[in-house]
Amino acid sequence: MPITMKELALEFDKKNPGITQGHRLCPGCGAPITAKFVLMVAKHLGYDPLVGVATGCLEVSTTIYPYTAWSIPYIHNAFENISATVSGVETASRALKKWGKIPQDKRHAFIAFGGDGGTYDIGLQSLSGAVERGHNFLYVLYDNEGYMNTGNQRSGSTPPGAQTTTAPVGKVIPGKPQLKKNIVEIIAAHENVYAATVSLSDPVDFFNKVEKGLNFQGPAFLAAMSPCVRFWRVPESDTVKIARLAVESNYWPLYEVEKGVYRVTRKPKSFKPVEEFLKSQGRFRPLLSRPDADKIVGELQAYVDARWERLLALEEATKDKPIRK
């Protein structure tokens, strides 16, 4: 049964999902919404969530001393090792169960949160290691496409043409020249894994994928489109609107890969042009005012279209053919 908003509203009217009010994230930030969605589903399914957060906006702003916005067991570790830390917590819980120190029927959900800097770039090796070892945990990437906590530096997730302080749009260089890394494919290539993309704009799809990821025996990975109002230069109230535009323009296709089997979870008849997504944000304004803007936007559009074709072909080709049992 898919989880509905109504069920969650009834359950969490007075109950805390695990992250409390009073955190110091920007007004309208996507990260606490992502964290709240994941934790609500975990608690709704009867799990006791244990959370590890990599360095990033979410960690820094929720744990300003002497306050913590986490009402559940929480551990912080550096950018590069949050997956290793959470895999250690998961192993410790298995050992404690074996020794009878915690009850056998205790259902913990091991959840790691990381931003795109801690996932695409710095934390990639520990994430790959934890996924390869097959730890039973859920990694949630809140993707705001840059090192926003330290003031908008480019990351492996920044889209081409975006204005960042380390790849500014100038007279010669049109912002970041490279395309975004395809993190879901990288994680899915570990084979024994559940990897999916989610967006704040599709909460039911989001809940279903969290449920699938938590119930999956082995590592699960969710990449959540989580706009940064500050450095995407969008109004604070537009977080969900921008996330929706990303999905509607096919910039952020919603799909899942379970042991090599692709499934596209949102297949609309038509998409909006990517240009509409770019135009909605101030970070692309310097790019769009350049004379060669059409060429760069055209290249991105061609990439997005090619990726969609490939996704559909992969879905067709891998149907009922899991690579691992």
Partner 1 sequence: MAAKGWKEIPIGGTITEAGNAKEVKTGSWRVMRPIHDKNKCTSCMLCWLYCPDQAILQTQGHMDGINYDYCKGCGLCSSVCPAKAIEMKAETEFLE
* Residues forming the site for partner 1 (CB under 8 A): 5-6, 8-10, 13-14, 16-17, 19-33, 36, 62, 64-72, 200, 203, 229, 235-241
| Residue 108 to residues 19, 69, 122, 168, 194, Cα–Cα distance (Å) | 17, 20, 27, 44, 18
Shortest reach from residue 9's CB to partner 1, in Å? 5
Shortest reach from residue 44's CB to partner 1, in Å? 13
Q: Return the amino acid letter for 1.
A: M
Shortest reach from residue 148's CB to partner 1, in Å? 15
- Tell me the C-alpha distance between 243 and 248, whole Å: 9
Q: Half-sphere exposure of residue 209, counting CA atoms within 13 Å on the CB side?
A: 30
Which residue lies nearer to partner 1 by CB, 32 or 161?
32
* Beta strand 74-77 pairing with 48-54: parallel
Which residue lies nearer to partner 1 by CB, 22 or 273?
22
Which residue lies nearer to partner 1 by CB, 88 or 203?
203
Nearest to 34, CA basis, from 196, 201, 215? 201
Whether 221 contacts 195, CB under 8 Å: yes
* Beta strand 261-264 pairing with 48-54: unpaired
Shortest reach from residue 28's CB to partner 1, in Å? 3
Three state DSSP letters for 102-132: CCCCCCEEEEEEEEHHHHHHCCHHHHHHHHH
Tokens 């480019």 found at: 154
Whether 232 contacts 161, CB under 8 Å: no
Which residue lies nearer to partner 1 by CB, 27 or 100?
27
Which residue lies nearer to partner 1 by CB, 26 or 189?
26
Which residue lies nearer to partner 1 by CB, 140 or 311?
140
Shortest reach from residue 235's CB to partner 1, in Å? 8
Which residue lies nearer to partner 1 by CB, 24 or 324?
24
Shortest reach from residue 62's CB to partner 1, in Å? 7
Supply the DSSP string of 186-248, one letter for each residue. Answer: HHHTTSSSEEEEEETT-HHHHHHHHHHHHHSSS-EEEEEE---TTTTT--GGGHHHHHHHHHH
Which residue lies nearer to partner 1 by CB, 194 or 207?
207
Shortest reach from residue 226's CB to partner 1, in Å? 10
Supply the angle between the helices 203-215 and 31-44 in degrees, to the nearest 10: 50
- Tell me the C-alpha distance between 149 and 210, whole Å: 25
Shortest reach from residue 113's CB to partner 1, in Å? 15
* Beta strand 48-54 pairing with 108-115: parallel
